[in-house]
Structure 1
């Protein structure tokens, strides 16, 4: 199966792409929380609506590979050419493109290798839930508060971190399987 087939939009990868793109745009909007006391920049659109959700850290976690790669390859200047979401906040076009490629790749890997291997799927789900608990301590939540906003913030962070970890595990497993198949087919 070629790259075009992997990247081809379908009913499986489009919903995941929409969610990942939402995380990217929401994460950029929530960056305003780091400077909202300074009154330097106007509040981005949708900031108040998205405030109860934990999108900023999941966005950083989702885009860590492209952030690190762009630092290593000295490509941070590219974000300067992106259009503004609001004054001082760039539309995360790189993150959105990355979200599409990631969603298409992870769905392809799931359907090709993981959907038939329930054991590896269970292991990946357990690992992902563990990461979700570590980075968004949802287990202690009922004992701490009954504040709806805090519960929404914590649970959204937990669910998104769990999902992103699952996507990373699928992607890494897919790279492993493709490399293993390539090396097995390569003549010695």
Structure 2
């Protein structure tokens, strides 16, 4: 199966892409919370609506590979040419493009290698839930508070970190399988 087939939009990868793109845009919007001179810049659109959800850290976690790659390759200047979401906030086009490629790739890998291997799927789910608990400690939540906003914030962070970890595990497993198949076919 060629690259075009992997990247071709379908009913399986589009919903995941929409969620990952939402995380990217929401993460940029939530960056407003960290601005010291918030009086100078107006709130980005949807800031108050998205405030109860944990999107900023999952966005950083999701885009870590492209953030690190752009630092290594000195490509941070590219974000300067992106259009503004609102004054002071760039539309995360790189993150959105990355979200599409990631969603298409992970769905392809799931359908090709993981959907038939329930054992590896269970292992990946357990690892992903572990990461979700570490980076968004949902286990202690019922003992700490009944504050609806904190519960929403913690659970959204837990679910998104768990999902992103699962996507990473699928992607790494897919790269492993492709490399293994390539090396097995290569004449010695």
TM-score band, normalised by the shorter chain? over 0.9
Deviations 1:51-80 (A, max 9, x none): 000000000000000000000000000000
Q: TM-score, normalised by structure 2?
A: 0.99
> Which digits, 9 at most, give the CA deviation of each residue in 1:13-61, with x for residues without a partner?
0000000000000000000000166412110000000000000000000
Q: TM-score, normalised by structure 1?
A: 0.99
SS in 1 for 2:49: helix
Alignment of 1:131-146 (within 5 A): 131-146=131-146
> Where in structure 1 are there 5+ consecutive unaligned residues?
none
CA distance in 2, matches of 1:37, 1:93: 25
> Contact 2:114 / 2:121 at 8 angstroms: preserved in 1?
yes
Contact 1:53–1:156 (CA under 8 A) maintained in structure 2: yes
How many residue pairs align between the two structures?
Answer: 188
Mapped contact 1:30–1:51 kept (Cα < 8 A): yes
The alignment's C-alpha RMSD in Å is: 0.7
Runs of 4+ in structure 1 over 6 Å off? none
Cross-structure match for 1:84:
84
